[in-house]
Amino acid sequence: MAKRNAVYAQSGGVTSVINASAYGLIQAAQASGAIDAVYCGHNGINGVLEEQLIDVSREAPEAIEALRHTPAGAFGSCRLKLRDVEKNREQFQRIVDVFAAHDVHYFFYNGGNDSMDTVAKLSTFAKEQGYALQVIGVPKTIDNDLPITDNCPGFGSVAKYNTISMMEGSMDTESMHKDSTKVFVLETMGRHAGWMAAATGLAARDERDGPHLILMPEVPFDKARFLEAVEEHVSRIGYCTITVSEGTQDAEGNFLSESGTKDAFGHAQLGGAGQVIQDMVKGELKLKVHGAVLDYCQRSGRHLSSKVDVEQAIACGREAVALAEQGLSGVMVTIVRESDSPYRWSLGHTDAGNIANQEKMLPGEYIREDGFHITDGFRTYCRPLIQGEDYPPYQDGLPTYRRLAKHLVPARLPAFP
């Protein structure tokens, strides 16, 4: 059978290991007996619609090798969601037309919940149009909120980064005299699921260690209980450190901090929950407070990536090619946990429709009874995911990250409106 071309694209918020998935996938695709040229969408699915396809063969081999340890989205990401086939029929048809113009019959989409919706719908649309196209989803999200898969590439590294940040911030706060800051607030990402905030609980190995309190979206925020707990910790051990998820909500489901604007996916733009908590502690308890917002740093902190996370990201990229070689379409690679201790994992797959627009919340058994911390069950789940170090190469005291040349394949179609 003649070889056909492939397109890989990145979507949504990036991670410190999404390029490791690209690295594994490109390696496997170039070695495949079914795939000829490998192209990459410049800025995700937007690059496909705009017929801006990066020719991987024109990248230096060392640049492709550097993907393994380079953070963020090397090929460019986007937040475009193709919500409805009928309403977006022109866009779906354009994707098929671009693929046909470049003899592309394999499409690998590296993203989260919304991206898997595109995987499922594009696979079905191509079949209806009679175009041979195999669409495979590669999981990615720091939120760790994809169902079916045990965990998501990107989460283990952000969990490690955030936990170390809280550990060090807590030590700083503890060291200060009572006339200085005795409360520290760390805000993490996490719109509806509290996995990232919960992970910082790994830093607490005894009652003096922070974080002492963790505020998660799954637990309705109770102001009176919270302030009482802060005051109790400061009185008993001399300080209190707090992790707050950006998606923390009150009993009515209102976010503690919502800007009133929405992103391209229609999600409320969040940010500032940590500041709300700081202001509350200052105003109500009259305590000195410092805070930090990890924001983009947490998702792109490749210098602290988990070795397990890097290995799983690479493996998911390679497995996507293997699934395509098996003739599958409309599926996503999954990580399967085989045992906790010793930690063993393997790869599987599921229909992308099982992932699309679904969110895996932090289970109740992972949340302490008072709602302010994690259980041993969560520690058992999360600890294996942050294991090992996989440092990037350094030069002159800094990591050596590399940009790609991004040579585009000549366009063959008229510009798309």
Residue 33 falls within a domain, yes or no? Answer: yes
Q: What confidence tier does 30 reach under pLDDT thresholds 50, 70, 90? A: very high
User: How far apart, in whole angstroms, are the C-alpha atoms of residue 233 and residue 331?
Assistant: 48
Instruction: Check residue 270 and give its pLDDT.
Output: 52
pLDDT in tens, 113-141: 999 999 999 999 999 999 999 999 999 99
Does the annotation count 295 as an active-site position? Answer: no
Q: Both 114 and 211 in a single domain? A: no
In a domain, 26, yes or no: yes
Q: Does residue 365 lie in a domain region? A: no
Domain that includes residue 99, residue range: 4-141+303-354+389-399
Are 104 and 194 in the same domain?
no
**46 and 137 fall within a common domain:** yes
- What is this structure's pTM? 0.94
User: Is 126 within a domain?
Assistant: yes
Domain end call among 254, 280, 299: 299
Q: Domain check: are 136 and 197 in the same one?
A: no
274: in domain: yes
For residues 252 and 176, membership in a common domain is answered with yes
Query: Residue 207 falls within a domain, yes or no?
Result: yes
Tell whether the model's pLDDT for residue 264 goes beyond 50: no
Q: What is the mean pLDDT of the chain?
A: 94
Measured over the CA atoms of residue 121, residue 146, residue 143 and residue 15, the dihedral's sign is negative
Say if 410 falls within a structural domain. no
Catalytic residue among 117, 143, 209, 309: 143
Q: Specify the pLDDT at position 261.
A: 42
| Whether residue 336 sits in one domain with residue 291 | no
Same-domain pairing of 42 and 107: yes
**Residue 136 burial (CB count, 10 A):** 28
Per residue in 311-350, pLDDT (tens digit) is 999 999 999 999 999 999 999 999 999 999 999 999 999 9
Q: How many CB atoms lie within 10 A of CB 132?
A: 12
Look at residues 156, 154, 144 and name the one whose alpha carbon lies nearest to residue 71.
Answer: 154
Confidence of residue 260 (pLDDT cuts 50, 70, 90): very low
Residue 199 maps to which CATH number?
3.40.50.460
Of 56-65, 175-184, 249-258, 320-329, give the lowest mean pLDDT range. Answer: 249-258
Check whether residue 121 and residue 47 sit in a common domain.
yes
Residue 193 lies in a domain: yes
Residue 259: its pLDDT value, please? Answer: 44
Return the percentage of the chain with pLDDT > 70, whole number: 96
- Residue 339 sits in the same domain as residue 287: no
Q: Could you read off the pLDDT of 137-189 as tens digits, one per residue?
A: 999 999 999 999 999 999 999 999 999 999 999 999 999 888 889 999 999 99
For β-strands 344-351 and 331-339, DSSP reports them as antiparallel
Number of structural domains in the chain: 2
Q: Is the pLDDT of residue 263 over 90?
A: no
